[in-house]
Chain A
Amino acid sequence: MDVFVLGMAVHPPADVVGGKRLEEMVFDTTRAALADAGVKRAEIDHVTIAASDELDGRAISSMLLAMPAGAYLRDETKCTDSGLTGLCLGAMRVASGVFDIGLVVSWNKTSEAPVENVMRMRAEPFYTRPIGLNMAITDGLFAGAVCERYGITPEAADAQARRAYAQALRNPRGMGRAAPTPVAMDASPYVATPLREIHRAPFTDGAVAMVIASGDWLSKSGGRRAKARIAGLGWRSEPYDLGAERLAGLAGFRGAIDDALRTGGGLTPADLDVVELDAQTAFHHLAYEAALGGWGAAVSPGGGAFAQNPYFCTGLVNATEAVRQVSNAAYGVQVAGARRALAHGAHGYAQQGHVAVVFEGV
Chain B
Amino acid sequence: MAHNKQVAVIGTGQTVFKSHHPDRTYVELVQDAAKQALDESGLSPHDIDAVIISMAPTVFMGVNDADRWAVEHVFGANKPVMRVHTGGASGGSAIQAAHAHIASGAYRTVLVVGGDRIAETPDAQLVLNLIWDKFYEQDFALTTVTMTALSAQRYMHRYGATEEQFARVVVRARRNAMRNPHAHLKGEITVEDVMNSPRIAYPYKRFDICPRSSGACAMVVSNLEVAKSQSTRPAFITGVSSITHSVFMGDRMGLWSENEYSDYDGMWRAAKHCYQQAGVVDPARDVQVAELYDPFSTNQFPQIESLGFCGRGRAGAISDDGGWDWNAGGVSISPSGGTLCTNPIGVTGLVRAADAATQVMRTAGEMQVDNVRHAMATAIGGSQQFYTCTLFSADHN
Question: Are any A and B Cβ atoms less than 8 Å apart in their complex?
Answer: yes
Report the separation of the CA atoms of residues A80 and B64 in the bound assembly, to the nearest whole angstrom: 11
Q: When the two chains form their complex, are residues B56 and A60 in contact, meaning their CB atoms are under 8 A apart?
A: yes
Set of chain B residues within 8 Å of A72, measured between Cβ atoms: 244-246
Q: When the two chains form their complex, are residues A78 and B99 in contact, meaning their CB atoms are under 8 A apart?
A: no
Report the separation of the CA atoms of residues A94 and B100 in the bound assembly, to the nearest whole angstrom: 8
Whether A79 touches B84, Cβ cut-off 8 Å, given contacts A66-B244, A93-B100, is yes
Set of chain B residues within 8 Å of A237, measured between Cβ atoms: 51, 68, 71, 76-81
Which of the residues A64, A122, A263 comes within 8 Å of B65, measured between beta carbons?
A122
8 contacts between A and B (CB under 8 A): A60-B381, A63-B131, A72-B245, A75-B244, A77-B93, A92-B104, A97-B1, A236-B78
Instruction: Flag whether B288 is at the interface (Cβ < 8 A).
Output: no
Instruction: Flag whether B280 is at the interface (Cβ < 8 A).
Output: no
Instruction: Flag whether B21 is at the interface (Cβ < 8 A).
Output: no
Q: When the two chains form their complex, are residues B96 and A77 in contact, meaning their CB atoms are under 8 A apart?
A: yes
Q: Which of B80, B84, B130, B258 has the most CB of A within 10 A?
A: B80
Set of chain B residues within 8 Å of A98, measured between Cβ atoms: 99-100, 103, 240, 277
Instruction: Flag whether B302 is at the interface (Cβ < 8 A).
Output: no
B residues near A (Cβ < 8 Å) are 1-2, 5, 51, 55-59, 62-72, 76-87, 93, 96-97, 99-101, 103-106, 127-128, 130-131, 133, 240-247, 258-259, 266, 269-270, 273, 277, 381-383, 385-386
- Residue ID in chain B nearest A62 by CB atoms: B86
Q: Quote the shortest CB–CB distance from B271 to chain A (angstroms).
A: 12
Which of the residues B66, B71, B104, B130 comes within 8 Å of A352, measured between beta carbons?
B71
Instruction: Flag whether A171 is at the interface (Cβ < 8 A).
Output: no
Q: When the two chains form their complex, are residues A121 and B64 in contact, meaning their CB atoms are under 8 A apart?
A: yes
Instruction: Flag whether A67 is at the interface (Cβ < 8 A).
Output: yes
Set of chain B residues within 8 Å of A1, measured between Cβ atoms: 104
Q: When the two chains form their complex, are residues A89 and B131 in contact, meaning their CB atoms are under 8 A apart?
A: no
Q: When the two chains form their complex, are residues B241 and A75 in contact, meaning their CB atoms are under 8 A apart?
A: yes
Q: When the two chains form their complex, are residues A77 and B84 in contact, meaning their CB atoms are under 8 A apart?
A: yes
Report the separation of the CA atoms of residues A72 and B381 in the bound assembly, to the nearest whole angstrom: 14
Q: How many A-B residue contacts, CB cutoff 8 Å?
A: 185
Which of the residues A80, A91, A96 comes within 8 Å of B85, measured between beta carbons?
A80
Set of chain A residues within 8 Å of B266, measured between Cβ atoms: 73
Q: Quote the shortest CB–CB distance from A252 to chain B (angstroms).
A: 7
Q: When the two chains form their complex, are residues B63 and A125 in contact, meaning their CB atoms are under 8 A apart?
A: yes
Which of the residues B79, B101, B133, B277 comes within 8 Å of A236, measured between beta carbons?
B79
A residues near B (Cβ < 8 Å) are 1, 47, 52-54, 58-60, 62-64, 66-67, 71-81, 85, 88-89, 91-98, 118-119, 121-125, 233-241, 251-252, 255, 259, 263, 348-349, 352-353
Set of chain A residues within 8 Å of B1, measured between Cβ atoms: 97
Report the separation of the CA atoms of residues A160 and B83 in the bound assembly, to the nearest whole angstrom: 34
Set of chain B residues within 8 Å of A73, measured between Cβ atoms: 243-245, 258-259, 266, 269
Report the separation of the CA atoms of residues A125 and B61 in the bound assembly, to the nearest whole angstrom: 10
Q: Quote the shortest CB–CB distance from B302 to chain A (angstroms).
A: 17
Which of the residues A66, A85, A92 comes within 8 Å of B247, measured between beta carbons?
A66
Which of the residues B55, B80, B277 comes within 8 Å of A234, measured between beta carbons?
B80
Set of chain A residues within 8 Å of B131, measured between Cβ atoms: 58-60, 63
Q: Quote the shortest CB–CB distance from A263 to chain B (angstroms).
A: 7
Q: When the two chains form their complex, are residues A80 and B103 in contact, meaning their CB atoms are under 8 A apart?
A: no
Report the separation of the CA atoms of residues A269 and B64 in the bound assembly, to the nearest whole angstrom: 36
Report the separation of the CA atoms of residues A71 and B81 in the bound assembly, to the nearest whole angstrom: 25
Q: When the two chains form their complex, are residues A76 and B242 in contact, meaning their CB atoms are under 8 A apart?
A: yes
Q: When the two chains form their complex, are residues B78 and A238 in contact, meaning their CB atoms are under 8 A apart?
A: yes
Set of chain B residues within 8 Å of A119, measured between Cβ atoms: 64
Q: When the two chains form their complex, are residues A92 and B85 in contact, meaning their CB atoms are under 8 A apart?
A: no
Mostly helix, strand, loop or mixed at chain B's interface?
mixed
- Residue ID in chain A nearest B128 by CB atoms: A59
Report the separation of the CA atoms of residues A54 and B83 in the bound assembly, to the nearest whole angstrom: 14
Which of the residues B77, B83, B247 comes within 8 Å of A80, measured between beta carbons?
B83
The 4 closest A-B pairs by CB, nearest first: A95-B104, A96-B103, A237-B81, A92-B104
Set of chain B residues within 8 Å of A239, measured between Cβ atoms: 71-72, 77-78
Whether A62 touches B99, Cβ cut-off 8 Å, given contacts A237-B71, A352-B71, is no
Q: Quote the shortest CB–CB distance from A108 to chain B (angstroms).
A: 14
Report the separation of the CA atoms of residues A97 and B71 in the bound assembly, to the nearest whole angstrom: 29
In addition to A66-B244, A237-B79, A239-B72, 6 A-B residue pairs with Cβ atoms within 8 Å of each other are: A59-B57, A60-B57, A60-B131, A66-B247, A72-B244, A233-B106
Q: When the two chains form their complex, are residues B68 and A77 in contact, meaning their CB atoms are under 8 A apart?
A: no
Report the separation of the CA atoms of residues A344 and B86 in the bound assembly, to the nearest whole angstrom: 25
- Residue ID in chain B nearest A81 by CB atoms: B82
Q: When the two chains form their complex, are residues B81 and A353 in contact, meaning their CB atoms are under 8 A apart?
A: yes
Q: When the two chains form their complex, are residues B68 and A85 in contact, meaning their CB atoms are under 8 A apart?
A: no
Q: Quote the shortest CB–CB distance from B242 to chain A (angstroms).
A: 5
Q: Quote the shortest CB–CB distance from A195 to chain B (angstroms).
A: 21
Whether A67 touches B269, Cβ cut-off 8 Å, given contacts A60-B87, A122-B64, is no
Q: When the two chains form their complex, are residues A96 and B97 in contact, meaning their CB atoms are under 8 A apart?
A: no
- Residue ID in chain B nearest A126 by CB atoms: B25
Q: When the two chains form their complex, are residues B78 and A59 in contact, meaning their CB atoms are under 8 A apart?
A: no
- Residue ID in chain A nearest B247 by CB atoms: A63
Set of chain A residues within 8 Å of B127, measured between Cβ atoms: 59
Q: Quote the shortest CB–CB distance from A89 to chain B (angstroms).
A: 6
Q: Which of A52, A91, A92, A122 has the most CB of B within 10 A?
A: A92
Q: When the two chains form their complex, are residues A124 and B93 in contact, meaning their CB atoms are under 8 A apart?
A: no
Which of the residues B76, B247, B381 comes within 8 Å of A67, measured between beta carbons?
B247
Q: Which of A78, A235, A241, A252 has the most CB of B within 10 A?
A: A78
Whether A79 touches B383, Cβ cut-off 8 Å, given contacts A122-B65, A353-B81, is no
Q: Which of B55, B93, B100, B266 has the most CB of A within 10 A?
A: B100
Report the separation of the CA atoms of residues A79 and B64 in the bound assembly, to the nearest whole angstrom: 14
Q: When the two chains form their complex, are residues B63 and A121 in contact, meaning their CB atoms are under 8 A apart?
A: yes
Set of chain B residues within 8 Å of A349, measured between Cβ atoms: 68
Q: Which of B69, B101, B103 has the most CB of A within 10 A?
A: B69
Q: When the two chains form their complex, are residues B83 and A81 in contact, meaning their CB atoms are under 8 A apart?
A: yes
Q: Which of B78, B101, B246 has the most CB of A within 10 A?
A: B78
Q: When the two chains form their complex, are residues B99 and A96 in contact, meaning their CB atoms are under 8 A apart?
A: yes
Q: When the two chains form their complex, are residues A255 and B5 in contact, meaning their CB atoms are under 8 A apart?
A: no
Set of chain A residues within 8 Å of B79, measured between Cβ atoms: 236-237
Report the separation of the CA atoms of residues A186 and B269 in the bound assembly, to the nearest whole angstrom: 62
Report the separation of the CA atoms of residues A30 and B151 in the bound assembly, to the nearest whole angstrom: 31
Report the separation of the CA atoms of residues A240 and B30 in the bound assembly, to the nearest whole angstrom: 15
Q: Quote the shortest CB–CB distance from A30 to chain B (angstroms).
A: 14
